[in-house]
Chain A
């Protein structure tokens, strides 16, 4: 199934070799893998929280797990979806704990808020507003689809959810965002909504 995949690691064989070296205890291999994934992980996680401490903590926790469970990676799957999957679960766990502890209340945190559509919102604004209305799983799913260009099956692998659940998340995310569209003349989305052709 030919598809453009600019966001994925262009040398998957490199990743597998690195994992083998990691199993053998080679720290340098872990570092190489880390540097290869850091940017996309930081980007992915920034959709959940603007807090650098949290992002770094999740990335580092993810790679601790990679270090400790590299031998459990099954050759049949992709290294990228395996690593993103670890990051996904680590991030959600971390956010749940944070909410329980109530240690930090951030307006950009992942608590869902209802959307207040306003006609003066510009494109970027209504999307920002809409994003706040989404659940963590929805945000991350959107980021996997549009930030990283993953297919439906790949996202299902990363989120360890059935394909149907992934589809539902995308659908509901769009519906929630639709409510945040600027109302033009009282009709939501009646005209070309965000100036997109």
Chain B
């Protein structure tokens, strides 16, 4: 076999030799070749540098808890039934309640956009209109059928309304695929002490009623959004009580101009300056 082919074949084996998944026979072959080929030894050294560079853990550990909560919320909004005992398989197109338009395809189901939560077509599953056969027993049966129909329709609209409600406030679930990409409502920007553990950060955020929506940036700035109805000032205060919080600021001017952090916002000015790009002031961290 000529030299070029040999080199090409040897070089193809290198990544798997480096990551330890190469078969024994090929390992032997490669090692025999390396013993006599300086060019390939050089290639191998380069391959090892790549591997070493990739082997280190990334700088930030992301917390699964909050993300999992959000996944559960999405699954709830899709009307996916959750059972603790084995039951019938949950197929993608199974609607949660009669008369409600369920996700048409797995792909559509991944996007909890308003199109999923369309209200049921009038007269869906044939329960909205009394059946003619019900007339056989006379008026009583007809009335019963009609009342069932009314209840079914009402229930259907109720569930649809829940869909809308669920899909509505969850604007922060819009992915970049939707036509109007909306940014999660960042309420606070914060920087934490580098030695703050993942568990401590999670507890801290839980206490303050906040969750991470972006970051950290290279400067270590996190964008946080509210998870409760608590006012931003309360969450901000909860954050600032912690010694591990190096910096925290609200992204909007607070009702009382005393925002805590040194701010250039003119005091006594009732109208907010409308700075959506971050609070003005000396303490603005690099983003």
* A residues adjacent to B (C-beta < 8 A): 1, 3-4, 21, 23-28, 31, 34-35, 38-39, 42-43, 46-47, 51-57, 59-61, 63-65, 67-69, 71, 94, 97-98, 101, 103-104, 123-124, 127, 142-143, 145-147, 149-152, 154, 167, 170-171, 173-174, 177-178, 181, 189, 192-194, 196-197
A25 with B109: in contact, given A43-B58, A149-B19 (CB under 8 Å)?
Answer: no
Interface residues of B toward A: which range?
35 or more
| B57 in contact with A25 (CB, 8 Å) | no
Q: Is A174 a contact of B68 with CB atoms below 8 Å?
A: no
- A73 to B254 Cα, complex, angstroms: 52
Instruction: Tell me if B137 is interfacial: C-beta within 8 Å of chain A.
Output: no
With A28-B84, A170-B15, A194-B49 known as contacts, the answer to whether A60 contacts B21 (CB < 8 A) is: no
A196–B52 touching, CB < 8 Å: yes
Tell me whether B92 and A38 are in contact (CB under 8 A): no
A-side contacts of B72, CB under 8 Å: 27, 31
Instruction: Give the residue name and chain of the A residue nearest to B222 (CB).
Output: A52
Q: Are the CB atoms of A46 and B60 closer together than 8 Å? A: yes
Query: Are A98 and B46 in touch, CB under 8 angstroms?
Result: no
Please give, as numbers and ranges, the residues of chain A lying within 8 Å of B84 by CB-CB distance: 26, 28
CB distance from A10 to the nearest CB of B (A): 16
Residue from A38, A124, A194 within 8 A of B62 (CB atoms): A38
Binary per-residue interface labels of chain B (170-199) against chain A in the complex, 1 for a CB within 8 Å, 0 otherwise:
000001110001001000000000000000
Among the listed stretches B126-134, B207-215, B279-287, which one makes contact with chain A, having 4 or more residues with CB under 8 Å of it? B207-215
Q: Decide yes or no whether B118 CB sits under 8 A from chain A.
A: no
Dominant SS among interface residues on chain A: helix
**Closest 4 pairs between A and B when the two form their complex, measured CB to CB:** A151-B21, A24-B86, A127-B53, A27-B82
Name B76's closest neighbour in chain A (CB-CB): A27
> Which residue on chain A has the smallest CB distance to residue B81?
A25
A46-B58, A65-B110 known; A26 and B184 CB under 8 Å?
A: no
- Point out the residues of chain B lying under 8 angstroms from A170, CB to CB: 12, 15
For the A-B complex, the count of residue pairs with Cβ-Cβ distances under 8 Å equals: 175
Q: Which residues of B pack against A, CB within 8 Å?
A: 11-12, 15-16, 18-21, 23, 42-43, 45-55, 57-58, 60-62, 64, 67-68, 70-72, 74-75, 80-92, 106, 109-110, 175-177, 181, 184, 212-216
Q: Which interface residue of A94, A154, A171, A197 has the most chain B CB atoms within 10 A?
A: A171
Q: Which residues of B contact A149 (CB under 8 A)?
A: 19-21
In this complex, what residue of B is CB-closest to A21?
B86
Give Cα A4 to B19, complex, Å: 9
Contact B49 A171 (CB under 8 A): no
B55 pairs with A147, CB closer than 8 A: yes
30 contacts between A and B (CB under 8 A): A25-B89, A27-B72, A38-B62, A38-B68, A43-B58, A46-B60, A47-B54, A52-B62, A52-B214, A56-B67, A57-B175, A59-B67, A64-B71, A64-B74, A64-B110, A67-B75, A67-B80, A71-B91, A97-B176, A101-B181, A123-B49, A145-B15, A149-B21, A151-B16, A170-B15, A171-B12, A174-B43, A192-B45, A194-B52, A196-B49
